[in-house]
Amino acid sequence: MNSLRKFIRQFEERVALRIMQLSFALIVLVLGAILFTVLSKGLPSVTWEIISQPPQGGYHFGGDGGILNAIVGSLALALGAALLAFLVSLPVALLMNIHLANRKKTLLGVRFVLDVLWGVPSIVYGAFAFTLMIYLGFRASLLAGIVTVTFLIIPIMLRAMDEALQGVPKALMEASTALGATKTQIAWTVYLRSAAPGLITAVMLAFGRGIGDAASVLFTAGYTDYIPTSLGQPVATLPLAIFFQLGSPVPEVRERAYAAAVVLTFLILIISLTSRRLSRVKS
Amino acid sequence: MESSIARTDAAVSVRNLVVRSGKTEILKSVSLDIPRNGITVLLGPSGCGKTTLLRSMNRLTDLDPSLSLSGQILIDEDDVLSKQGDITLIRQKMGLLLQKPQPLPMSIFENIAYGMRLKGIRDMVVLRRRVEKHLREVALWDEVKDRLNHSARMLSVGQQQRLCLARGLAINPEIILADEPTSALDPLSSRAIEELFKELKKDYTVVLVTHILRQAKRLADHVIFLYLGDVVEQGPAEEMFNNPKTERFKEYLTLGI
């Protein structure tokens, strides 16, 4: 009897372990396949010309030039949106965790709404912003793109900041209150410093999401072969560069789509590494 | 003799303090005086309200809006519970020591300087001198003088607690509130904190919450025994421990409950 039980337990243990190992292998395989496809198809096309020049005449039929317009555009768009989102998210996250810390029901509601907003597909943000643009008489432009991506990434940045601030021990609030600090002083010194690694991660996470999103900028940022010189001009982005070039009948142009994908993946890799590095320094 | 002087010159006078959390009364109309200087120990079984009483004194209870307070807590003629006064200034008359040390997320130096900066001291020369003075007061200076710019979290728990004590002293308080300050510490560090309290009581009024009876006996000059939200017995330590008057306190002394 005992030996049967022992056998079953060991069997369970082994099966469970196998399932976990299989799942792990599956994930590694899929990730590897994605990276392999993008790199094998894209790397040969990543030349100095591609990353250092905007499209020249006839580029979209296989002519000279590169995707500098999309690289600069994506960076400008994501930086602008991350900055705007940061300016809004940080005060709200501090408000939630310091002044509303005891309003459990309010917080539950706010977090629920933010989680829903996080889950809303980005094309919906695009459609919403497009309506807003028409109403306000805006054209597709860098500014409109930045505002749309800001809407898209605020829930992400805010919730990630919220999680970081929730990790600050409550006793730290008590200790600093006892020293005679006001809530605002505690927020800007103790909470910001204590949660700094998480806050940096939040910004980087939102930045990464912003730079990689195609649907939200499809209607709002437009697309252009030129590097914009003002906020009012349309702007190209890497996700859309992939999208448009992949749909081309010309094989060389399709290869350049993979080159754009490589560049985008590389940018996101840099963002992750930077955020890890910064978080570690700050903690 | 000592107690009669103390009665006329209380550091903290609590009058009819009622603390409610919803419908339950955590403290039921408590009145007491904490004599100036010396160590006053708040003693009682868990749930008796001793921590709540301590936290009412600097209105740390504000952080929990489910608590409502009524009555008076007088410190230097100021009513702590009055909404008119500036509570942050009143709080700076008291240094607080929590169960687990809570160093601020900054350097050792900045931890001590934090409270002084809040008080408007900006002069680096003054700050440096005062930081050294307070670190010496808690016998931490020699251990940390070469790494003042290191994060306070690098220190051992015992060192952190002494740092927190120094941080409290740096706001120039009259009173030190300590909420089971040795419960997270090893025996050696606990002893260090106890020895510091014995020194500090000459210049400060120490209010200590503890559930360790032996610690209370070692340190207390004055004892306040609470049970289920009431002050059951209070008086000079020697008298209370040698000659307890109420059955409750006798029971607590023998059984520890």
Three-state DSSP class for B206? strand
* Higher-pLDDT residue of B220, A64: B220
Q: Where in the sequence is the domain holding A31, given as residue range(s)?
A: 2-45
Do A31 and A165 lie in one domain? The reply is: no
Do B6 and B88 lie in one domain? The reply is: yes
What pLDDT score does A71 carry? 94
Do A39 and A145 lie in one domain? The reply is: no
Beta-carbon contacts of A15 under 8 Å, excluding residues fewer than 6 positions away, are: none
Q: Where does a domain end: B172, B197, B219?
A: B172
CATH of the domain at B226: 3.40.50.300
The residue type of B105 is P
Three-state DSSP class for B104? coil
Residue A209 has pLDDT above 60, yes or no: yes
Q: What is the value of pTM for the model shown? A: 0.84
Do A150 and A221 lie in one domain? The reply is: yes
B99 assigned to some structural domain: no
For residue range A135-184, list pLDDT tens digits in order: 998 889 999 999 999 999 999 999 999 999 999 999 999 999 999 999 99
Do A70 and A195 lie in one domain? The reply is: yes
Helical residues (DSSP H) of A137-250, grouped into ranges: 142-166, 170-178, 183-186, 192-212, 215-218, 238-246
Do A38 and A111 lie in one domain? The reply is: no
Do A174 and A117 lie in one domain? The reply is: yes
CATH of the domain at A112: 1.10.3720.10
Separation of alpha carbons B255 and B257, rounded Å:
5
Do B245 and B125 lie in one domain? The reply is: no
Separation of alpha carbons B73 and A131, rounded Å:
60
Q: Which of A168, A174, A177, A179 is best to mutate for the B interface (most B CBs within 10 A)?
A: A179
B98 assigned to some structural domain: no
B226 touches chain A (CB under 8 A): no
Distance from CA of A162 to the nearest CA of B (A): 18
What pLDDT score does A17 carry? 96
Looking at the structure of chain A, the number of domains it has is 2
Beta-carbon contacts of A149 under 8 Å, excluding residues fewer than 6 positions away, are: A77, A78, A80, A81, A210, A213, A216, A217
Q: Which residues of A205-241 are buried (b: 16+ CB within 10 A; e: fewer)?
A: bbbbbbbbbbbbbbbbbbbbeebbeeeebbbbbbbbb
Looking at the structure of chain B, the number of domains it has is 2
Do A29 and A56 lie in one domain? The reply is: no
First to last CA, chain B: 31
Query: Lowest-pLDDT range, A32-36, A274-278, B191-195?
Result: A274-278
Contact yes or no for B89 and A172 at CB 8 A:
no
The secondary structure element, H or E, covering residue B223 is strand B222-227
A169 touches chain B (CB under 8 A): yes
Residue of B nearest to A99 (CA): B63
Residue of B nearest to A103 (CA): B65
Average pLDDT (A40-69) is 86
Phi, psi (degrees; rounded to nearest 5) at B86: -90, 105
ipTM of the complex: 0.87
Do A126 and A217 lie in one domain? The reply is: yes
B22 touches chain A (CB under 8 A): no
Do A90 and A17 lie in one domain? The reply is: no
Q: Are B115 and B92 in contact (CB under 8 A)?
A: yes
Q: Are B40 and B204 in contact (CB under 8 A)?
A: no
Q: Where does a domain end: B141, B172, B203?
A: B172
Do A177 and A40 lie in one domain? The reply is: no
Residues of B in contact with A99 (CB under 8 A): none
Q: Where in the sequence is the domain holding B164, given as residue range(s)?
A: 104-172
B54 assigned to some structural domain: yes
Q: Where does a domain end: B154, B172, B190?
A: B172
Do A37 and A69 lie in one domain? The reply is: no
For residue range A144-153, list pLDDT tens digits in order: 999 999 999 9
Residue of A nearest to B104 (CA): A190
Separation of alpha carbons B116 and B119, rounded Å:
5
Contact yes or no for B104 and A172 at CB 8 A:
yes
